[in-house]
């Protein structure tokens, strides 16, 4: 697998040989999983070379204003500025509908179990992912593994401190909308692949 093309010419589901990655990101009312709720879920699916099969999907969950009013200062400011708060109030989609829609989308592109791997940045925090989506994504892999871009970032900082992305190499920052954040994570991992995970020269015998 090689090349920098963002999209692959894909009209059929991915197989194990494609090395599919199921990128998921969530926006929530906060980080306390015992009381905070899911507001937005986005998914982008790539092959192992980080080429997208589709532009991805993003769904906002209908949320009562009374719930949104209880968000902390950071979430109130951030979700208000990104438009997510207003989108939650206006959304026609229930939690159940979003869960089913996302699960259907994943199954469309990666229908085989033990085939794909969950991917994202700080994916451990996405325990907010609806349980059926999370369970299916985990079952896609032979083991409950994930590709966490945040882990790669920390290893880069420790092992290759002199190799850093230049400001002009960032096409976008973290915008705190689920689909945008996935795009940024894929772009970041692509940079690590091209600049850190460099194929060693062949050793001639």
Whether residue 91 has pLDDT greater than 70: yes
What's the CA gap between 41 and 45, in Å, rounded?
Answer: 14
> Which band of pLDDT confidence, cut at 50, 70 and 90, is reported for residue 175?
confident
Q: 141 vs 19, 21, 64, 107, 190, CA distance in Å?
A: 10, 10, 36, 13, 21
DSSP state of 16: G
Higher pLDDT, residue 2 or 48: 48
Number of C-beta neighbours around residue 4 at 10 A? 9
Whether 2 shows a pLDDT value over 50: the answer reads: no
Question: Which among 46, 30, 24 has a CA at the least distance from the CA of 124?
Answer: 24
User: How does pLDDT run across 101-119, given as a tens digit for each residue?
Assistant: 998 999 899 998 778 888 9
The topology (CATH level 3) of 16-196 is: Nucleotidyltransferase; domain 5 (3.30.420)
Look at residue 19 and tell me whether its pLDDT is greater than 90.
yes
Q: Once rounded to an integer, what is the mean pLDDT over residues 40-50?
A: 95
Dump pLDDT digits (tens) for 137-164. 555 555 567 899 999 999 999 999 999 9
Contacts of 145 by beta carbon, 8 Å cutoff, 6+ apart: 117, 118
pTM comes to 0.86
Q: How far apart are CA 106 and CA 116, in angstroms?
A: 10
């Amino acid at each position: 697998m090689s090349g920098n093309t963002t999209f692959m010419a894909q009209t059929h589901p991915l197989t194990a040989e494609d090395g599919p990655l199921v990128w998921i990101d969530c926006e929530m009312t906060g980080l306390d999983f015992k009381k905070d709720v899911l507001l937005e879920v986005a998914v982008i699916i790539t092959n192992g070379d980080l080429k997208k099969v589709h532009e991805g999907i993003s769904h906002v969950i209908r949320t009562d204003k009374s719930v949104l009013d209880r968000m902390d200062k950071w979430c109130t400011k951030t979700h208000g500025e990104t438009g997510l708060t207003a989108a939650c109030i206006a959304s026609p989609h229930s939690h159940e509908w979003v869960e089913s829609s996302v699960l259907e989308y994943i199954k469309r592109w990666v229908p085989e179990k033990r085939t794909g791997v969950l991917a994202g940045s700080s994916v451990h925090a996405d325990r907010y992912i609806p349980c059926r989506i999370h369970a299916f994504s985990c079952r896609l892999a032979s083991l409950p593994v994930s590709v966490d871009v945040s882990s790669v970032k920390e290893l880069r900082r420790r092992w290759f401190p002199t190799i850093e992305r230049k400001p002009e190499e960032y096409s976008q920052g973290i915008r705190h909308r689920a689909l945008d954040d996935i795009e940024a994570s894929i772009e970041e991992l692509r940079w690590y692949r091209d600049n850190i995970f460099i194929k060693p020269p062949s050793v001639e015998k």
